[in-house]
A and B are shown apart, each in its own frame.
Chain A
Amino acid sequence: MPAYQQRAEIVRTEKLTGDVFRFTVKAPDIAKDSRPGQFVMVRAGEGMDPLLRRPFSIHQVAEGELVQILFKVIGKGTQALANLQAGYSMDVLGPLGRGFVYNTQHKHYLVGGGIGIAPLLFLAGNMLNKNESSAIKVFLGARTGDEITVLADDFVSMGVEVEVATEDGSLGRQGLVTDLMTPVKNENPARVYACGPYPMLRAVVGVSREKNLACQVSLETIMACGLGACLGCAVLRADMNGYVHACMDGPVFDADDVAWL
């Protein structure tokens, strides 16, 4: 699959909460080839510090030319990114990596934690083009309701069923996203597609295994190139013998292909 390096004009910036932002950029080449679960490498400005691009899952693709990313300010790179204004053309590389694989015969459970919800909206939209909305169910988890209110609404307005769990109980049920999975049965058969912080993914994989559900996970790692050249994004294989790489073998992996430590 080809990747493109383009100057993508920021057409819209949204501050969803205190530190979560959503940017919409105009990147026609990237938009037309993007698949749910793939990512882009974004340069936060022109300078040498921060030096490296930052990887972001593609949150949504719209109108054949718009690409959205969702990010939380956690360090120097994301802070620099958050400071960019609409009208600026940022250097974007993508689409990269392997995305989610799904089959219209399945019942789909999309499980997201915090900012990890990012690629699931694109996935749900893509599935809706091919499936009945009843075949899709979304479980979202976060520390507080603020973190995901807007994002949960996006799924609702898409017409898919959403359940929410928050650790402080401020939205939906009080608890963890895995609590929402309790009634899930392996019928039709069912498949789990998960994205979020590592401890949450490990728990989702554990629940999926108990229920005998096939599970795909989108993993986040430190990454320099996104192209398979730097080999920095190593992920331990399930057999603990060697590594796969998030940028080219992932970022979406079958949960059984990687080690859960």
Chain B
Amino acid sequence: MAVERPDMKTSIGSLLLKNPVMTASGTFGYGEEYASLVNLHRLGAIIVKGISLLPRQGNPPPRIAETACGMLNAIGLENVGLERFLTEKLPFLQGLNTPLIVNILGDTLEDYQQLAARLEGEEKVAALEVNISCPNVKQGGVAFGTDPGMAHAVTQGVRQNFRRPVIVKLSPNVTDITEIARAAEDAGADAVSLINTVLGMAIDIGSCKPKLANIFGGLSGPAIKPIALRMVWQVAASVSIPVIGIGGITTPEDAIEFMLAGASAVQVGTTNFINPKAAEEIIQGIGTYLAENSMASIRDLIGRARQA
């Protein structure tokens, strides 16, 4: 029997989302860039471009290269910095009914603590996503994400300065991602999101040089989905906090796979570049799938593939 209006709500710690589909950091600007193309009010949450205490220029170009069913990027965390984010970007986001999640990044533990403390005072910031996993910068970033002790310290530093949900974004470029996930959980994270991009490279055989000025970059897009899905499955079995699935999600079917593997919510990333309407189409498609399969709630989907 088909369910007429399935319940799409999901939660990340104390944060209740009207549906499980968010836009991933770094793929959706500060929201306003997509305002004329997307109904921003429909999204489960918006995660903005990673913010550091001070503005960052980013890496020299070329910063992106297309690969088979994917793209490499080495943007280098270019962002406007905390102050300009608060004065220039936040006012637009405050006018939306959609929860705002701010992705934060730093070079030192103190950077993360200060960012958390400042954003604690901004009521519109519903949650923080702690970026300990960017592969494209030399300092900080991924160093925090590849060492369980450092991941624990950063998570704890943010936790102590921010009362609302803290999500820790994990790197796939590690030997055992479950170890980092457990360190984040132990330090008080409310959720983990995974995966960030997979470190890769491409070479131009015309110029005989790497295609990216940074040589290495992060691979994203449909090419990485099977890796991401496997890691979400492993992490969901290793922690008891919610898992947010990210990696090559392009269609409703992709998102459903991640939820069946144990994700409580998903993030749509690279696809926003190609099809700005993708997140809305995925929300619609999940609803249709639940209805057609007689599932009354999105909760019926989470981890279902794990059941014996």
A230 touches B73 (CB 8 A): yes
B273 touches A225 (CB 8 A): yes
Instruction: Return the chain B residue nearest A241 by Cβ.
Output: B57
User: Of the candidates A2, A229, A234, which one forms a contact with B27 in the assembled complex, judged by CB atoms under 8 Å apart?
Assistant: A229
CB distance from A57 to the nearest CB of B (A): 19
B27 touches A51 (CB 8 A): no
| Per-position binary interface string of chain A over residues 230-253, scored 1 when its CB falls under 8 Å from any chain B CB and 0 otherwise | 111111100001110000000000
Q: Is A228 an interface residue (CB 8 A)?
A: yes
Interface centre among B29, B78, B274, by most A CB within 10 Å?
A: B274
The stretch of B61-69, B124-132, B162-170, B294-302 in contact with A is: B61-69
Q: Is B142 an interface residue (CB 8 A)?
A: no
Q: Is A256 an interface residue (CB 8 A)?
A: no
**With a CB–CB cut-off of 8 A, which chain A residues contact B275?**
5, 43, 91
Query: Given A5-B277, A225-B273, does the pair A232, B222 have CB atoms closer than 8 Å?
Result: no
**With a CB–CB cut-off of 8 A, which chain B residues contact A234?**
58-61, 63, 78
CB distance from B211 to the nearest CB of A (A): 9
Instruction: Return the chain B residue nearest A235 by Cβ.
Output: B61
CA separation between A204 and B65, bound complex, in Å? 28
B34 touches A51 (CB 8 A): no
B276 touches A242 (CB 8 A): no
Instruction: Return the chain A residue nearest B27 by Cβ.
Output: A229
Q: Is B135 an interface residue (CB 8 A)?
A: no
User: Of the candidates A3, A52, A93, A241, which one forms a contact with B66 in the assembled complex, judged by CB atoms under 8 Å apart?
Assistant: A52
Interface centre among A2, A50, A230, A235, by most B CB within 10 Å?
A: A230
**With a CB–CB cut-off of 8 A, which chain B residues contact A236?**
60-61
Instruction: Return the chain B residue nearest A248 by Cβ.
Output: B33
CB distance from B178 to the nearest CB of A (A): 29
Which B residues from 35 to 75 make CB contacts under 8 A with A?
36-37, 49, 57-66, 68-71, 73, 75
CA separation between A54 and B232, bound complex, in Å? 32
Query: Given A52-B66, A53-B274, A228-B29, does the pair A2, B36 have CB atoms closer than 8 Å?
Result: yes
Interface residue SS majority, chain B = loop
B273 touches A53 (CB 8 A): yes
A5 touches B29 (CB 8 A): no
A-B contact pairs, 23 of them (CB 8 A): A2-B36, A5-B277, A43-B275, A48-B221, A51-B66, A51-B221, A52-B66, A52-B274, A76-B66, A93-B276, A221-B62, A222-B61, A222-B65, A227-B37, A228-B33, A229-B26, A231-B58, A231-B78, A232-B61, A232-B73, A234-B59, A234-B60, A234-B78
CA separation between A52 and B223, bound complex, in Å? 13
Q: Is A224 an interface residue (CB 8 A)?
A: yes
Count of chain A residues near B, Cβ 8 A: 33
**With a CB–CB cut-off of 8 A, which chain A residues contact B63?**
222, 231-234
CA separation between A229 and B65, bound complex, in Å? 16
B274 touches A43 (CB 8 A): yes
CB distance from A42 to the nearest CB of B (A): 11
Q: Is B250 an interface residue (CB 8 A)?
A: yes
CA separation between A227 and B30, bound complex, in Å? 11
User: Of the candidates B34, B68, B276, which one forms a contact with A49 in the assembled complex, judged by CB atoms under 8 Å apart?
Assistant: B68
Which B residues have a C-beta under 8 Å from some C-beta of A? 26-29, 33-34, 36-37, 49, 57-66, 68-71, 73, 75, 78, 221-222, 250, 270, 272-277
**With a CB–CB cut-off of 8 A, which chain A residues contact B49?**
229, 231
CB distance from A45 to the nearest CB of B (A): 12
**With a CB–CB cut-off of 8 A, which chain A residues contact B34?**
227, 229
CA separation between A17 and B64, bound complex, in Å? 30
User: Of the candidates B27, B36, B68, which one forms a contact with A230 in the assembled complex, judged by CB atoms under 8 Å apart?
Assistant: B27
In order of increasing CB-CB distance, the 10 nearest A-B pairs are A232-B64, A2-B36, A229-B29, A225-B273, A224-B273, A242-B57, A48-B69, A234-B61, A228-B33, A227-B33
B274 touches A51 (CB 8 A): yes
**With a CB–CB cut-off of 8 A, which chain B residues contact A228?**
29, 33
**With a CB–CB cut-off of 8 A, which chain B residues contact A52?**
66, 71, 273-274
Which A residues from 4 to 61 make CB contacts under 8 A with B?
4-5, 43, 48-53
Instruction: Return the chain A residue nearest B36 by Cβ.
Output: A2
CA separation between A91 and B65, bound complex, in Å? 21
Interface centre among A53, A91, A234, by most B CB within 10 Å?
A: A234
Query: Given A5-B277, A234-B58, A234-B60, does the pair A51, B69 have CB atoms closer than 8 Å?
Result: yes
CB distance from A89 to the nearest CB of B (A): 15
**With a CB–CB cut-off of 8 A, which chain B residues contact A230?**
26-27, 64, 73, 75, 273
B75 touches A232 (CB 8 A): yes
B69 touches A222 (CB 8 A): no
**With a CB–CB cut-off of 8 A, which chain B residues contact A221?**
61-62
B75 touches A5 (CB 8 A): no
**With a CB–CB cut-off of 8 A, which chain B residues contact A242?**
57
**With a CB–CB cut-off of 8 A, which chain B residues contact A77?**
66
